[in-house]
Structure 1
């Protein structure tokens, strides 16, 4: 079908049909085909500009046009709109100013904004001149209010788009045009404001608001120094009077529009101070703005406190007031050293700071602010109390997730923290006096508010307060009263205080007192301790247990009781968020208190996994809840240790559910792999029921191919199998795994590379004589890949040395096979040996040096008798290195303390730093046993092996050949050889 206006109109009509049918699908496909055809976007514009067409058709046309502009306007895009078509489109962009449908007009403005982003200033340098001229004519010549309204909508979108540009010329070009457009906008704003306030004309009111909305965007973004522009400063001065007047006359005018005006003024001031704080403070009307918000917060405090509306207007303005004052305080006390979008000179910053210090902040004002916050903004609102009473669990979850930037009480709390931080010398005594003198006030809410100030001051006044004494004398007794229902408010607050202070200043004796206090709050039969109190007590306990100074032995006597309470409370909760919070706390308790939790309690905890796994299948948050359950299960495996087979009936099905190719829980795969690894690591050494565990290995190839983001984890699982059940590498095709690893080797991150090295080390120690293993190593390309890695000088020397350890292992364990593998692959043996001996000096510990020397000597033992020249050439160097090592280490029967650290399986070293009460896991035991049984570092004495190698030369070489070989050595080596021969 040819593209023209009529055909396009017919296709849009078909695509717009209300019932889904085959014709509609064909029409949509046709539109998709036409997207790249020249003229398509111009015709779309023609259709939506035609006011006589049905609105739905025009609406679809403008949506297609807007999306097409985004995809094809940029010249560098494939199938970009031609320059000629762009010119035609641009010539008609301001032809829709008589549009009556506001939503369609907004879409049109969005389209223009996208075009301006690409065209201004290079292809459209006079854009703002055109807009300024049109605005002036529509207002003062044609008096066309409808066109003014639509042009202001377009301008607002243009300013919004250009303001977001951070790279390129567009934003700076807009700033250069701001002095042109802003005076006209101010002039129009003042004109329309005077008119609508006199006759309450709603149409004028809307247009005036659009002027204000444009100014709100362009003044902060369009001027580097707005304080120096006379028009801007005069407008801002007038705006404060207008804001004050409109709020005072709130009930007289149209409520919705008045509120939009007030919010717009507040956004203007907030954006100014956020983008350019120094300029804001240097504004002549700065103090007027700050004073207005101070007065607003005072005069409307009770109204805001009593409000129970969502998005309450009075509260929104108060929020902006707090945020503006917060910005000013931070600027003042950080001495202007904050991130500035507009750089300022040191002199300007000093003037701004002096202005604030002398004209605004003083002790009296700060204490007045604190009194205001304590009396009206920190107390729990009546609406909150009602929600607490009716839906305690839901209310508590909302409190945990509250955002201080959008809710008045959290915002006031955040603001108070800044006050205490920057005025702590003045406010420390103020807060302590409140605690001493006002906690007997009969008003529970004010008591709670005063205690809140202490909670919020933790970071600032900790050096001036004996928290341990206050905890014992004031807070715990206050939170232990059970004489009235309202007491739950203070119980919650004491939990919040402890939550803040315990990580700053809390003795071990106080922590024990806290455990006793919290245990009383979790008692189920106490009606006062409702779900809010319980969840806050759990939050508090979680913080204590996570703290660096947590002492699990002090917590031990309370451990079983708390876990029992957690399980009971878990059943009481109905919201996923609450259950998740308790489960996460349980996971931390199990982790931090290992091995103090008794077997019976661990089994009780194990029983909750299948129960809540099934529950989570029936709600929308199943993945996040399952993640927490898997974490608990993993920690239970670790705590059970040798008893971890108790978990297998739960673990193995979960691993299959999370890690299979066709799993319904792909998002849980990483958690599933972590669970799998823990199960393998903590499997006891004598456990024989390995059939199902071995069968799980079938899933590893899918993980290796598709979960490269957790490659270290996948490799660790394979490593665990190499220790637990090396037979899996004979049952399953190890060749496929090695082939995948050969493709990964050159690009592995260090963490994955280290696990790979330890995996290969274990496999060589266990399977060095296994034909399947050795054949797979060659046929998969992995062996050749390792050699190439060593020869590539662009790779890290540290990583190359680690690979040389693996090759040294194989060379010692099976020197004949190793030599055949080298020759079979036709590698540059001379270069390989050169790298091997040169990099030896970069080995940092005796274990690694000895492994290298054993491999090299083992190869020399079989190559020198057959006259392999490459190996003969390195013979003197290897002998010298061997003697120097023996002097350094001084072996006795092959045993040296230094050999018991810096293992190739690096994670094993970490166990030295664990709590001595924690038993070694099965994997640690298996690895140590493997080293004891098979590691030549322990079993072979290097000097005796050297003697054995030299004797083999003497017995296989002719006397003159042997003498000639010995004479290749340096004098030092010859002397040492004479001593041992």
Structure 2
């Protein structure tokens, strides 16, 4: 290749060099220039040429690769805006497969990724020569070329195998059939060359080269076997490969023992290779469980040998051990192998076969050995774990809490224990009970091995708690043994104090008498003391969380322990340094605040002062920020007020979490909305800061439909807090956006939106009706089109009625617009709406809704509307039914409107949420009742007055004619309420 770059390429090379600078003043202009060139013809050709010049600075070439990858993602597809031209694409594709001699691994890997990205789009239709070229290059005798070709083939296969459309899958399956044997032979060759090289003490570099190729071909075979066959067990070559895995793993494990002293890289590569062999089995079990039936027996024998025999365990290392545990767990848990499927064995013979293999393997002797070895060997804390505990107790505790069973050793073996114990409880429960009995006596503090063994047994009892419910008298064990062990303060006994604490927490919600809960709380407080070991204190905090989060938790019973527990947790929160640990402790405190409610008030001042400091620490830790916001929600609710010290802290947090222009919204939005709502509900009045905060709401409503309900609740709380101010400052814009997003909302969200509209009108009938004008056409159309969802229709009719009562002018405007939309007369439109109204009014389940509709029907009688008078009889029926629903007769025979506030009744009579403490928000909702027509106007009296007005409007003759439209039964019932 000509190394003299053309001028444009020289400029590009210079810009890439600047883009690799660590100086932001040099870097940012270069990045901006590269972004400008992204859509220029020839840009990606120039990048590819620079990547291909081996002597250039590696950082420059790497940046060129990154920009080329980004370009493929954005502009490679033919229908993309500013798509790369066909000529340029062909040049790049041809260049990528014409040379496989890249000397640097990191650039070679990126080139392979480039090929795979293009292949996923173009192969095979637009790049038919790719796969033949790769297979040809794989046969090259030059080791480097062969390695790069195999590397590229792996990434291509990985990319194509991930396509899920049926046509793409068929193409991949056809490809698999054609190349599987070829790749299998390569893998066999490279793996055999590696093992013979090691056993013959050959050159390490040769061994590394063969092992790298063996690993790459194994990765290819895994993709082909798992995704390239519809039913892998029906392909003989695939099954041969799968059955070879066990012997290959055995041989390679032997090789691994020979690699000590030959360098860390080859040892790690060998471990990665062995792990990938087991990963093939895990993938097949996960995706093709029926095909895996042919491997169940071998897999169980294989894993049993290495995990549970002295001969096999000498070959173990962590990743291999985890994979072996995961294979066992997958086999035991697989739904296709469950005994429940055996009942359908006529239809599912595979399930019967798999179940038989499992049951024949897991004989009582084997199960007993597995259980005992897990408990007495694997569960025992290792010296490395104890060293970690001493050096960094927080990391030790977090490791215990967090890692997934798929990737971490202790969780993997614990989940296998739980899985097997649950599946074979009848066999294993007596085994574990015997282990409990053997370790029942107090262990001398100096006997570290005895302590570790007991710790392991207690761990097993904790994990199997649900399956040991009938086997263990936990109350007696707790009172007679566990409490005594917690009192021993020797340093070695911290191991048991921590484990006993966790054990108690686990059993609290399963089988702990309520009478023993005070003793439990006393234990936890004892373990939370500042002179106790940090890991023990953290375990005690977890136990306390489980205890107070339990269904049977009694806040009154906990009252005497609240102050010391909360104070000690707060002290722990200040002492821990890890973000994850702080989040855990804060979560416990938050749970406590939530469960004890307002009784936390006397003990919360220190936490209130500390949270702002903790918030500053959380700037780089989003999940800790979420935990802080969640704690603030519970704290504000529990305090029942926003204390002055908190307000300057709360508003900026809410603003940050609800500002659509700020990145933290991704993590904080929902919790911040909850906090916002809690602050509003517990504030006596509106402040300038809170009304300014509401500036975020319009964008929030348009940001995501997932938080619409919370946004509506916040909006309702705002308008109740300062009705006129909110309506005038934000109301119109909010309603306009609500109308825009309404078509994307589900019924539940529509209901919340309609409640907001309803509140707008109720708080200020005149101004509110004007404010909701943008959304009224949608509501009127909902009635016109006969909305099918009953609750939504009921709200439509409720709001329709309130608009009619609040502003006949606005009602008429919306009706006129609707008539114009459907090219009808206003009377025709009104008639259709009246028909729907009268037909659907009975579906309203709430008497308040039916009464407001009854008031609106009474009002509309005197509007001299022909569609109304034509339906006079039907209107009378609906008003009569409403009167029947709301009229109550007392003991003295006096009738009254049951929804009207009368002497001796407070708003609480109609709005009782049953809370022991009423928030300001609840009180404001009750105050609405004082001005609501439903609760201030007697329907019977108003209806009577409207009848008299109608009579005067029509005159005696026309009035009598109208009354004659009613049937006699309706007439006689109405006369019990009004006179005609």
Give the alignment's TM-score, normalised by structure 2. 0.85
Q: Does the CA contact (< 8 Å) of 1:175 and 1:223 recur in 2?
A: yes
Cα drift, residue 14 of structure 1:
0.9
Q: 1:847 to 1:615 in 2, by over 3 A?
A: closer
Give me the whole-angstrom Cα distance separating, in 2, the residues matched to 1:54 and 1:185. Answer: 35
> In the alignment, is the contact (CA less than 8 A) between 1:704 and 1:711 conserved in 2?
no
SS in 1 for 2:469: helix
- 1:804 paired with 2:797, answer yes
| Distance (Å, rounded) in 2 between the aligned partners of 1:947 and 1:21 | 81
SS in 1 for 2:510: coil
How far the C-alpha of 1:959 sits from its partner, in A, is 1.8
Gaps of 5+ in 2: 820-825, 902-906
The 3 A distance-change label for structure 1 pair 132 and 481 is same
CA distance in 1 between counterparts of 2:118 and 2:720 reads 64
Partner of 1:696: 690
Shift in Å at residue 640 of structure 1?
Answer: 3.5
**Residue number among 266, 288, 313 corresponding to 2:278 in the alignment:** 266
**Correspondences of 1:485-496 after superposition (within 5 Å):** 485-496=491-502
- 2:681 matched to which residue of 1? 681
Paired position in structure 2 for 1:101? 104
* 2:507 aligned with 1:510: no
Q: How does 1:883-922 map to 2 (within 5 A)?
A: 883-892=880-889, 895=896, 912=913, 914=915, 918-922=916-920
Aligned 8 A contact 1:74 1:80 in 2: yes
Partner of 1:658 in structure 2?
A: 654
Could you give the per-residue CA deviations for residues 49-101 of structure 1, whole angstroms, max 9, x where no partner exists? 45677766655554444443333333332343444554554444432133333
Q: Please tell me whether the aligned partners of residues 182 and 215 of structure 1 are also in contact (alpha carbons under 8 angstroms).
A: no
Relative contact order higher in (CA < 8 Å, ≥ 6 apart):
1
Moved more, 412-421 or 148-157: 148-157
The 1:895/1:373 distance shift into structure 2, 3 A limit, reads: farther
User: Separation in 2 of the partners of 1:824 and 1:68?
Assistant: 51
SS of residue paired to 1:448:
helix
Render the CA deviation track for 1:149-199: whole Å, top value 9, x for unaligned. 222112221222222222243343233233432323333333344444245
Matches within 5 A, 1:29-48: 32=35, 35-36=38-39, 41-42=44-45, 44-46=47-49, 48=51
- Change in CA separation of 1:611 and 1:208 when aligned onto 2, cut-off 3 Å: closer
Q: Secondary structure at the match of 1:503?
A: helix
Following superposition, the deviation at residue 536 of structure 1 comes to 1.3
CA shift in 2, pair 1:742/1:282, >3 Å: closer
Q: Is the 8 A contact 1:652 1:693 kept in 2?
A: no
| DSSP 3-state at the match of 1:891 | strand
Indicate if the aligned counterparts of 1:15 and 1:24 stay in contact, CA closer than 8 A.
no
Correspondence list, 1:522-921, <5 A: 522-524=528-530, 527=531, 529-595=532-598, 597=599, 602-621=601-620, 624-641=623-640, 644=641, 647-651=643-647, 653-659=649-655, 667=665, 668=668, 670-683=670-683, 690=685, 693=687, 696-708=690-702, 709=704, 710-729=707-726, 732=729, 734-744=731-741, 747-768=744-765, 772-773=767-768, 775-776=770-771, 781-793=774-786, 796-812=789-805, 828-860=829-861, 862-863=862-863, 867-892=864-889, 895=896, 912=913, 914=915, 918-921=916-919
Distance 1:436 1:889, change over 3 A: same
In 2, the alpha carbon distance for the partners of 1:919 and 1:24 equals 59
Aligned ranges for residues 160-239 of structure 1 at < 5 Å? 160-196=158-194, 197-198=196-197, 199=200, 200-201=202-203, 202-203=205-206, 205-216=208-219, 217=222, 218-239=224-245
Q: Aligned in 2, Cα 1:776/1:582: closer, same or farther, shift over 3 Å?
A: same
3-state SS in 1 of match to 2:495: helix
Per-residue deviation, 1:429? 0.7
Task: For residue 592 of structure 2, give the secondary structure of its aligned residue in structure 1.
Answer: helix
Structure 1: segments with no counterpart, 5+ residues:
305-311, 339-343, 901-905
CA distance in 1, matches of 2:24, 2:688: 53
Query: What pairs up with 1:937-948 in 2 under 5 angstroms?
Result: 937-948=934-945
**Number of residues of Structure 1 aligned to a counterpart in Structure 2:** 924
CA distance in 2, matches of 1:226, 1:743: 52
TM-score w.r.t. length of structure 1: 0.85
Measured in 1, the distance between the counterparts of 2:114 and 2:216 equals 19
Aligned equivalent of 2:409: 408
Q: Does 2:14 align with 1:14?
A: yes
CA contact (8 A) 1:45 1:89 kept: yes
- Say whether the 8 Å CA contact 2:289–2:336 is kept in structure 1: no
Structure 1 residues 118-141: Cα deviation after superposition (integer angstroms, max 9, x where no partner): 2333345575555445544x3xxx
Residues 609, 629 of structure 1: 8 Å contact kept: no
Matched, 1:350 2:346: no
Alignment of 1:103-502 (within 5 A): 103-124=106-127, 128-136=131-139, 138=140, 143-196=141-194, 197-198=196-197, 199=200, 200-201=202-203, 202-203=205-206, 205-216=208-219, 217=222, 218-253=224-259, 254=262, 255-283=267-295, 287-298=297-308, 314-331=317-334, 334-335=337-338, 346-358=348-360, 360-440=361-441, 442=447, 443-478=450-485, 480-502=486-508
Map of 2:822 onto structure 1: none
Kindly indicate whether the alpha-carbon contact (under 8 Å) linking 1:659 and 1:666 is maintained by their aligned counterparts in 2. Answer: no
Give the deviation of 1:851 after TM superposition.
1.4
Deviation at 1:282, TM superposition (A): 0.8
| Equivalent pair of 2:677/2:714 in contact (CA under 8 Å) | yes
1:971 to 947, 968, 971: 968
Deviation string 1:923-979 (CA, Å, 9 cap, x unpaired) is 333333432x33343443333333322223334442212212212222323333555
Which string of whole-angstrom CA distances, capped at 9 and with x for unpartnered residues, describes residues 627-646 of structure 1? 444444433333333xx26x
Mapped contact 2:622–2:664 kept (Cα < 8 A): no
Q: Following TM superposition, by how much is the alpha carbon of 1:592 offset from its aligned partner in structure 2, in angstroms?
A: 1.5
CA distance in 2, matches of 1:938, 1:569: 53
1:590 Cα deviation from its structure 2 partner: 1.8
Q: Deviations over 1:826-873 (max 9, x none)?
A: 76433333333232122123222121111110221x32xxx4323222
**1:521–1:533 CA contact under 8 A, matched in 2:** yes
1:346-372 Cα offsets, whole Å, 9 max, x none, are 3344334434433x3211111111222
Distance verdict in 2 for CA 1:228–1:857, change over 3 Å: closer
Deviations 1:784-828 (A, max 9, x none): 554344334457453232132133234346668866886799764
Structure 1 counterpart SS, 2:888 = coil
Which residue matches 2:823?
none
Q: How far did residue 205 of structure 1 move? A: 4.5
**SS across alignment from 1:504:** helix
Q: Please state whether the residue corresponding to 1:555 is helix, strand or coil.
A: helix
Q: In 2 relative to 1, CA 39–431 (structure 1 residues): closer, same or farther, beyond 3 Å? A: same
